[in-house]
Amino acid sequence: MRRLLHAFAVVGAIGLAIWAIGLVRFVATLPEEVADETTRTDAIVVLTGGADRLATGFALLKNDVGGRLFVSGVGESLSLDALLAQLNLSDYPQALRRRVDLGHKASNTVQNAQETAEWCREEGIRSIRLVTASYHMKRSLLEFQRELPELQIIQHPVFPQAVKQGQWWKYPGTLLLMTREYTKFVVANLAHMFGVTAGDFS
C-alpha cells in the first residue's frame, strides 16, 4: 500500500512540475505589444470582456484600420447606441456606426469563434484584426483557427491595467488569472486533439 501511495505521489509531483513549466512558458509567450498596428483588414473583431477592448475596437474603426467592426458576445438587450453610451462615445460618427455589427449569441470563447465565423462567411470577410486581452489571445486564436482555418488573423492584444503580466507571479489576482487561462488553454488543446469542443469551460 505504501508503495502504491508513493507511486501516486511521484506521478502527481511529476504532473504538477510539467504543468508548472507549461504555465511559465505559456505566460512567457503571451504578446507584450501590438506587432502590427497598421495593416488594413476586411474587419476588426472585438471579443467582449472589458471596456478597453471595446474602446480599442471603435478607435481602430475610426482610424480605418478595418473595413467593418464586429463585436462578439454583446448582451442580447444591448443596442449599439447603448453600448456607445456606456463607452462615452455617444458622438461616434453615424457613417461609422453603419459599419458596426453586434453579435448577441456568444457567451464564451468557443461561441465567440463560432459566432464570428458565421458572420465572416455571411459577409465575405477574409481577414480580421482580432482584439482581445493579451492573456486571452492564444486561446482565442486556437478557437478561431479551428472555425476558420483559411482566415487571415492579425493579433491586436490589449493590456488591462489590472493585469500585471510582466510580474504575474507577484500578484495573486494576476497569478490566479494566468493559472485559469493556461488551464483553459490546455483543455482547449486537448478538446481539439480529440475532436470535441471545450464548451462552457471556455
Task: Quickly tell me which residue has 472589458 as its cell.
Answer: 50
The domain segmentation of the chain, as residue ranges, is: 32-162
Phi, psi of 42 (to 5 degrees): -60, -35
Sheet (strand 100-103) strand order: 100-103, 66-72, 41-47, 127-133, 152-158
Distance CA 37, CA 65 (A): 8
The pLDDT score that the predictor gives to residue 24 is 92
Distance CA 178, CA 88 (A): 30
Superfamily of domain 32-162: HUPs (3.40.50.620)
Q: How many other C-beta atoms lie within 10 A of the C-beta of residue 120?
A: 23
Residue numbers in the chain where pLDDT is lower than 50 = none
Q: What is the amino acid identity at position 42? A: D
pTM for the full model?
0.90
The SS3 assignment for 43 reads strand
The pLDDT score that the predictor gives to residue 8 is 64
DSSP state of 159: -
What pLDDT, in 10s, does the model give residues 141-168? 999 999 999 999 999 999 999 999 999 9
The pLDDT score that the predictor gives to residue 12 is 66
